Structure 1
């Protein structure tokens, strides 16, 4: 019995030793796999990290503030991509209906003894801007070369897309002006003071007064656009309403001085269709300078986030 017990003890000791060696071998193997896994993760490039939803330490979680270099996908998309073509179509259609609706109210008011009134014209301009923002804002909603240039100057819009944007905006304005001339039979000598049916823009006072008014009201418009479309100060559902209301206000207190263009394309289209270029330089330069100035002022203002008091 003592001999058998001794043999059993030796066998159990051997089994325990084998178990211990197996366990140590398993630990070493797991440790080696963990090291290899760490090395493989460290060798993952940035594109693989994005695909695996692994964010490198240098990738910021906070959104980019307004008027800082644009890092979104659309800024680097090729000019001949489908997405860029869709944006151009949105700008063309939006500018067409903007000029068509706003200038149509002016034509109706001129042909029906001021039936629409200045307030009515201002409401039409504001409403059409509001509707277009809600309709096309998810694609592109500049409809204004001054806005496009201002955003590009602050690197919030790709510079290489500016010429195409301005081209389609001007084409939309020309098309709307030609449509209105055909529909309302506006073939009078509009550059003379015999007929006040010119749908373009010209200063009623001096060029300096018109320039100053266009600069001020366009800067005000751009300032509001920057304020309501960045940060969390305003609900997204109210952006179109606020911008449209700003347009209406500008038309009311600026129309008697400069016509309240605020948009080089809006003034250039009727000027080309009717061949009347009185003071056209004012409406090409003043709105652009006003929008650029306001955009750079907005760059100095901090964005408001929801977690701020």
Structure 2
């Protein structure tokens, strides 16, 4: 199907989402601060403290088993000192962004969605470190948001989404291809339309729209390739919406792998099997993160 037609269908669909939420201002501020040189810790602390609900969630999460402080942390400033600048930005973004999706359980339940999203975020950061990509935090954040179209499709188009899943029971499949078949568009285009409505930076929009087609990226094909491979790795490590996905791939045949090898020739020597085992060790961390997030949301 023509890309333009899929975008047109997605745009009309997103416009029909009458209660489509807006992204919290603080999440946008966190993205902006990622690209701001010389930003001070106090600026981040003030941003968090301006939203008392967010501040409470940050403190609740930093005291969770995920971060394991030796003593209870009771203030945002102490959380900043304990976690460090980069981690607090990630945590603030996470807490503010997650709230957008509350109460929007669809065919895909939110816990499965966040396990996959944070899995892709964590693995994107690991891959970014391996290839010496200059902004590993951006890789983490864009990995988290890459599938925003998926959760909204499963919420706003529940009947179509259920029919899609019923049609492939017991079979491996690529969800993006089935979406095009059943809906005339996919979560890529839906997510891109939403990201534009939320005024996400252009490189974030590109990854959201092209994380299944990194070879079409023009702004930052390396970032698209990182998220694409992180997505595939999470699928084979069972962080894939409860197993409802296509779960087999040959790394050597993936266009994203070719893009990354061109960017970082040292990847040619990567032991892929060992790398997958390393990812297994991170799965409990990701599950702890999701539990901490849901606990944090409960404390309003």
Normalising by structure 2, report the TM-score: 0.26
Instruction: Mark the structure with the bigger radius of gyration.
Output: 1
